[in-house]
Structure 1
Amino acid sequence: MTVSSETTPGQTASRGLSAGLTVLFAITCGAVVANIYYVQPLLADIAASFQVGMGSAGMLVTVTQVGYALGLLLVVPLGDTHNRKRLILTLLALCIVLLLAAAASPGFLTFAAASLGVGVLSCAAQVAVPFAASLAPDHSRGRTVGTVMSGLILGILLARTIAGAIAHYAGWRAVYIAAAVVMTVLGALLARALPADPARPSIPYGRLMASVLHLARTDAVLRWRSLMGALGFAGFSVLWTGLTFVLSDAPYHFDQATIGLFGLAGLAGALAASRAGRLADKGHAHAATGLFAAACLAAWGLMALTHWSLIALTAGILLLDIGVQGLQITNQSVIYAGNHGARGRVTTVYLTTYFVGGACGSAVASLAWDLGGWLAVSATGAAVALALLGCWLLAHARRQEV
């Protein structure tokens, strides 16, 4: 994968990346991306508050992810030409405003609009990931991406637990007030700790966006990884949208705090998947991808038994998180191996596709629930996982290293 670059590998690696700074990047990604997942365990309460149906409330997940995809498409490429420290801080400041607007929303449409904006601005997390990758030396870039992405993954998983707990004691609006406070503290820390980002030649925005399309057309590895990432995240979104419905319905009737606790089931999976970056550093990315895809398919077989066994559900969540998050880390380790001066644009191609897949998964999950309940949701998730495994098998049969 090659694209003209303004920064060479030697230049970026020479600036160095300490262990403490790597942890700060991980915390940043986790805290920021959590903003788009707080809504998932709150859907029943939000639906009741605004007097809308669960199907309509479920679309809030889609709206937020569409906003995130727009941010990835339109904002993240600026990281290749603009000061990334300043860009991250600006996005966080605007995000604080919209989180407070979400908390104060008088109606469903106002809340949906604020959620869309929060999704757009939370793309700051994906300005931070390639920033960290550009600071890491070549021999440990996969490990660095794995560590930073583990922070992001933990943010996704803990967001549901934290949101459920806060809403249980203080109401769903308090979740967004707390998130605004977290963003304020994080912004202050980043302003002091992030390294200076050297100036790079300016590229007109139109030409910058054209180069994104050029990458998508010409980079076969990036296209394959984007497709597999989208399918993986679609399955992940099918689970976390449908799970709120099934656990708040008969026979369980769990409240938000209890539903949020199921996010903890994925923590072990996220931590195990963090080693995927090391596998990529050692040249085993292709084989690891097949194993992660197979794990996703097996997970849905377990989760189909949710009505009869919460143990099967918990095991399935764990296995799905290993598969999806391991796939994500492997994908990003592979695509960041080249394109040293275009990692923001590579991120845009990959993650725009990724989150469009997630938005589609959320929308399909809401539809499947309305049509056939949890078994329909499980069948949908299994079909997505089967398509993912099929993509890997096709690449393997063609002996195409992706």
Structure 2
Amino acid sequence: MVTGIARPQRLLLAAVCAVAVATIYAIQPVLGAAGAQLGLPAESVGLLVAAGQIGYFAGLILLVPLGDLVNRRGLIGGLLALTGVGAAITAAAPNGVVAMAGLAVAGVFAVVVQVTVAYAAAVSEPGERGRVIGAVTSGVVVGILGARVVAGVFGDTLGWRAVFVLLAASCATLAVVTRAVLRPDTRTPGARYAQILGSMGRLVVTDRLFRSRGLIAFFLFASFGTLWSGLALPLGAAPWSLGTTEIGLFGVVGLAGALGATRAGRWADAGHAQAITGWSLLVLAGSWLLIAPMGPTLLPLVAGIVVLDFAVQAAHVSSQHLLTTAHPDRTGSVLGAYMTFYSAGSALGAVTTAWAYTAWGWWAACGFGAGYALCGFAVWGLAQLRLGERAESVPVQRVPCPQT
């Protein structure tokens, strides 16, 4: 088969995703140090994290649909450059307000991730689309987890601002490289921007496949967020009392599981996307049995993290494969709408894990993580039994792309 996108280009697109998403998550491991230096009270440092997430949510709705109207190659470069501007503002911020503004700017334009995934799906051969999406979206997990490792090390050595200097420089470099290396994706837009925004909202009401996949993403990333937003709490407490760098290294463990799930794209191409989702959600729920104990050794925790990240990435890739196959003419807006569920689920996981841990301990937080996974499995099961979805089928009802 003549591939539609070469391996070096896949790696480049994965790097774009990794660097862009890292601008949102890099603040988490250095939150205490950054807040203290910026003069923020302890109860307000969470606003630094919230600023990036709010910006990202806005970008998903307002900017990702542009990928269905303009050439995505140029859009990727432009969004990357503006993401770098946000990272640079954060690095130079004299106070908390400016830092929040910089993180919000970075978050808005970090939705270049979804534009990149849509580009990869558009230029791929149909028979390799799942494999390409799996390879490119692996960069998202690399960025989320790798940012923890790099930021943790930098925070203990060069300072938290150095993390954002590196990210700003990386965004600028990738903006130039993508413009030079990627080829234009050719298509003829059939709708105006306002019409695409309206059609995104109608997806939830009229498209069964999108509705089920969005709910699955919501619970999937609520479970994911429960682990990665709360893991530092028990590890930083007695008897482990680990430091920022040591806790950040657990991100390497997560990378092993997530990168292993790139094989899920090949399975999706072979017609097994629906089955992948089902068993991945069950595996995700089971992984919490390894994560919860926090016994005399952390080896079960390490194994559980590998399993959890493998399951999350496998389910995520299968959902994106189904949605881009069902809506090949507007992958950008569909993925943008889909990822709003991801963002909301991640926020839910972050909130409930801190609350449950403070009230009842780590076992309670893990119970929420497992419960979210089982809720996702219930949504998947109902879709199979009641909504008539079939493996690799188009949705029962699709929202047409409005014509001009």
TM-score (norm 2): 0.90
Which of 74, 92, 96 in structure 1 is aligned with 2:62? 74
Which of 390, 394, 399 in structure 1 is aligned with 2:382? 394
Q: Which has the higher contact order (CA 8 A, sep 6+)?
A: 1
Which of 122, 132, 137 in structure 1 is aligned with 2:120? 132
- For 1:393 and 1:372, the matched residues in 2 are separated by 31
- Paired residue for 2:9? 21
Q: Counterpart of 2:293 in structure 1: which amino acid?
A: L
The answer to whether structure 1 residue 346 and structure 2 residue 367 are counterparts is no
**2:85–2:106 CA contact under 8 A, matched in 1:** no
**1:133–1:141 CA contact under 8 A, matched in 2:** yes
- For 1:62 and 1:351, the matched residues in 2 are separated by 17
Q: Counterpart of 2:51 in structure 1: which amino acid?
A: V
| Cα distance change on mapping 1:395 and 1:309 into 2, 3 Å | farther
Q: Counterpart of 1:303 in structure 2: which amino acid?
A: I
**1:82–1:202 CA contact under 8 A, matched in 2:** no
| Cα distance change on mapping 1:117 and 1:171 into 2, 3 Å | same
- Paired residue for 1:320? 308
**1:58–1:362 CA contact under 8 A, matched in 2:** no
**2:325 partner SS:** coil
- For 1:65 and 1:51, the matched residues in 2 are separated by 21
Per-residue CA deviation, residues 88-126 of structure 1 (Å, 9 max, x unaligned), is 122122212211111122333332332222111100111
Q: Counterpart of 1:315 in structure 2: which amino acid?
A: A
Q: Counterpart of 2:89 in structure 1: which amino acid?
A: A
Deviation at 1:144, TM superposition (A): 1.0
Which of 317, 328, 350 in structure 2 is aligned with 1:329? 317
**1:99–1:177 CA contact under 8 A, matched in 2:** yes
- For 2:143 and 2:10, the matched residues in 1 are separated by 15
Deviation at 1:149, TM superposition (A): 1.3
- For 2:123 and 2:369, the matched residues in 1 are separated by 37
| Cα distance change on mapping 1:237 and 1:160 into 2, 3 Å | same
Deviation at 1:363, TM superposition (A): 2.2
**1:62–1:363 CA contact under 8 A, matched in 2:** no
- Paired residue for 1:231? 219
- Paired residue for 2:354? 366
Matches within 5 A, 1:235-384: 235-306=223-294, 308-384=296-372
**1:145–1:333 CA contact under 8 A, matched in 2:** yes
Which of 81, 93, 99 in structure 1 is aligned with 2:81? 93
Percent identical among aligned pairs is 38
How many residues get paired? 390
- Paired residue for 1:9? none
Q: Counterpart of 2:180 in structure 1: which amino acid?
A: R
- Paired residue for 1:178? 166
- For 1:50 and 1:380, the matched residues in 2 are separated by 33
- For 2:155 and 2:256, the matched residues in 1 are separated by 25
- Paired residue for 1:156? 144
TM-score (norm 1): 0.90
**1:61–1:359 CA contact under 8 A, matched in 2:** no
**1:200 partner SS:** coil
**1:55–1:367 CA contact under 8 A, matched in 2:** no
**2:353–2:368 CA contact under 8 A, matched in 1:** yes
Pairwise CA RMSD: 2.2
| Cα distance change on mapping 1:33 and 1:20 into 2, 3 Å | same
- For 1:125 and 1:390, the matched residues in 2 are separated by 29
**2:20–2:83 CA contact under 8 A, matched in 1:** no
| Cα distance change on mapping 1:262 and 1:350 into 2, 3 Å | same
Which of 106, 111, 129 in structure 2 is aligned with 1:123? 111
**2:329 partner SS:** coil
Per-residue CA deviation, residues 203-223 of structure 1 (Å, 9 max, x unaligned), is 332212112123332211111
**1:377 partner SS:** helix
- For 2:56 and 2:218, the matched residues in 1 are separated by 14
Deviation at 1:59, TM superposition (A): 5.0
**1:103–1:176 CA contact under 8 A, matched in 2:** yes
Deviation at 1:259, TM superposition (A): 1.1
- For 1:186 and 1:84, the matched residues in 2 are separated by 15
**2:249 partner SS:** helix
